[in-house]
A and B are shown apart, each in its own frame.
Chain A
Amino acid sequence: MSAQSANEKVLLKGNEAFAEAAIRGGLRFYFGYPITPQSEIPEYMSRELPRRGGVFLQAESELGAINMAYGAGAAGGAVFISSSSPGIALMQEGMSFLCSAEVPLVALNVSRGGPGIGGIQPGQADYFQVTRGGGNGDYKIPVFAPASIQEAIDLIYEAAELAETWRNPIMIFSDGIMGQMMEPVTLPEQRPFTESDKIRSAKPWAITGYGDDDAQKNVVKSLRMQPDELEAHVEKLFAKYARAEKELARVETIGIEDADVVFVAFGTVARITREAIDILAERGIKAGLIRPISLWPFPYDEFDKIGARTRVVISAELSMGQMLEDVKIGVGKRLPTRLIHRTGGMIPTSLELADSAEKIYKEAIQ
């Protein structure tokens, strides 16, 4: 893959494409632990990164991986990690530390069904886990949910820059379908890796060894024993998150100005929904789609653009209605909201989705 030139169309498996996008994004350090359905990522990284001047390290656990990522990030390295739902759960302790210490990181969740060990088939029931925190304390992590492998590549590549700009972890929320399927994609140019001796000037806050004896030492930390100091720190973080809410909200919409029914769906389900919209059109029902690309910040403002004709808003998800809570906030009291869901690794067909939506729509207009 490394010999593949940029901007050339290639057929790639999702997990390998995600890994390649991270390398090309300049994320030189990868720490991973095997878990289905993303194990192709550490496998790919173990082969590719050392050959291309990067570093692969297999951790003893996801706890180890996230803390290696914290250490490498605190030391100024550009870091990528990946896991799947239960592994992401183990990483939440570290996510909280990274956010408080403002350490950049790009993290990928190739999610599967839960709770518990759950299953290895695709799921979106990590929605709360990735959008509401999961670790302790007040913090936020921007989360992007691609609906194609190409979009995942572009988001991972961009996230490498966003993590540095915002000095915060950025999460890419994919699922087991996207990890395992193949699509034709175009890969971006390789960004250069930052050499270790260039880190201090690029990231004056990083722990690199301060050099000559009179230089100021750096400390990367999250402990603040004085309540007023901790409060001031959290307020500072939330001023940053308030800016992120304005600048990082991303959404794609299809025909919501004059739709009878509006779907809200992300990732794999959004793809199926597009087909359901065509089926509903044949039945004389005009359906629209709000596809959140950022799950936090959630694109609440987009719901104001839903036209007067719409009778019901449907959240379609691979969970028991986790995103539905955000959909309700976005819709407010203007319109009824409903849920179409499968869970446990089950995936609705476009026909099932259209049938359920038609039933909901007919109930709404009675």
Chain B
Amino acid sequence: MKPVFTYTKGMVRTDTSYCPGCTHGIAHRLITETLEEMGMLGKAIGVAPIGCAVQAHKFMNVDMCESAHGRAPAVASGVRRVHPDKIVFTYQGDGDLASIGTAEIVHAAARGEKFTTFFINNCIYGMTGGQMAPTTLLGQRSTTSQDGRKKEQAGSPIRVSEMLATLEGAVYIERVSLASPAHIRNAKKAVRRAFEIQQTGAGFTFVEFLSTCPTNWGVTPPDAMKWLIDNMLPYYPLGVYREPTSEEVAS
């Protein structure tokens, strides 16, 4: 009998360390399942961030290293130089990428580094305990914005996909969501597209996943999905922000 579903070889058969309702597990699976479908698991090298996903290497069945806070794009730039024929990716949260690692991500994108960054945007610091991130929405409560983020005090949330799309070297940028089955199916297409464009050598590829953090948002997992749709989608519109031109893919 033909199995209708099998567990992807891309994920290690173990429990993850993520909280109930957190979408890291979904993002991990989309990435590794796609690599398996492309026959690239053994040719992939991942770079884990600081944050909840620092132990992503325990769950993703690919060669991986950890990196210091925000430095994953620099680390991946080094990895890619040694192995130009492999698939290289970083997996970073919003504290890691959009705050302490802005220099690294901007310059990796500007250089057109031939790796893919998966950006988990859940509007908050997770592992350190729910502090305000650069992506925290105005009015959103966190442990360092207890009365809600105020524009006059902390500025406005950074839209990373839109910012990076201004750089020539970033050839594919898409923002997707993990808040519903339809969103997730679409997110997987973006993962595949990013890896395929990486393989052409056209330049830097980037997928932003709008994600949940029920623990630090202080809501239940189902309410977290609803909160994402109600609050994050209006400020962080889904869509493709940069597509490579036919010349870029061909060159």
Contact = CB atoms under 8 A, between A and B. Distances in A.
A59 B83 CA distance: 18
Given A60-B104, A209-B86, A67 B62 contact: no
A322 B65 CA distance: 36
Contacts of A75: 45, 78-79, 82-83
B82 A60 contact: no
Given A74-B75, A77-B78, A213-B9, A219 B107 contact: no
A64 B74 contact: yes
Given A97-B68, A209-B44, A209-B63, A71 B104 contact: no
Interface stretch (A38-46, A220-228, A258-266, A353-361): A220-228
Contacts of A218: 63-64
Contacts of B29: none
Interface string A58-78: 011101110111111111110
B161 interface: no
Given A64-B103, A64-B107, A211-B42, A223 B54 contact: yes
Interface string B13-26: 00000000000000
B78 A209 contact: no
Interface residues of A, number: 43
A219 B63 contact: yes
Given A67-B67, A213-B41, A223-B55, A196 B85 contact: yes
B78 A208 contact: no
Nearest to B41: A213
B121 interface: no
Q: Which of B55, B65, B68, B83 has the largest number of chain A CB atoms within 10 A?
A: B65
Contacts of B57: 219, 221
A212 interface: yes
A239 to B, nearest CB: 23
Contacts of B63: 207-210, 217-219
Interface residues of B, number: 36
B42 A215 contact: yes
Contact of A209 (B43, B67, B74): B43
Nearest to B48: A221
A71 B77 CA distance: 7
Contact of A73 (B66, B76, B78): B78
A144 interface: no
Contacts of A35: none
B42 A60 contact: no
A151 interface: no
A196 B107 CA distance: 25
Q: Which of A70, A77, A196 has the largest number of chain B CB atoms within 10 A?
A: A70
A31 interface: yes
B129 interface: no
A68 B85 CA distance: 18
B81 A67 contact: no
Interface string B29-51: 00000000000011111010000
A92 B77 CA distance: 19
A353 B54 CA distance: 53
Contacts of B44: 209
B239 interface: no
Contact of A70 (B67, B84, B106): B67
Given A71-B78, A208-B45, A93 B68 contact: yes
**Nearest 4 pairs of A and B residues by beta carbon:** A71-B78, A72-B78, A71-B75, A67-B74
15 contacts: A64-B107, A67-B104, A69-B78, A74-B75, A75-B78, A75-B79, A76-B82, A196-B82, A196-B84, A196-B85, A207-B64, A207-B79, A209-B86, A215-B42, A218-B64
Interface of B: 9, 41-45, 47, 54-55, 57, 61-68, 71, 74-79, 81-87, 103-104, 106-107
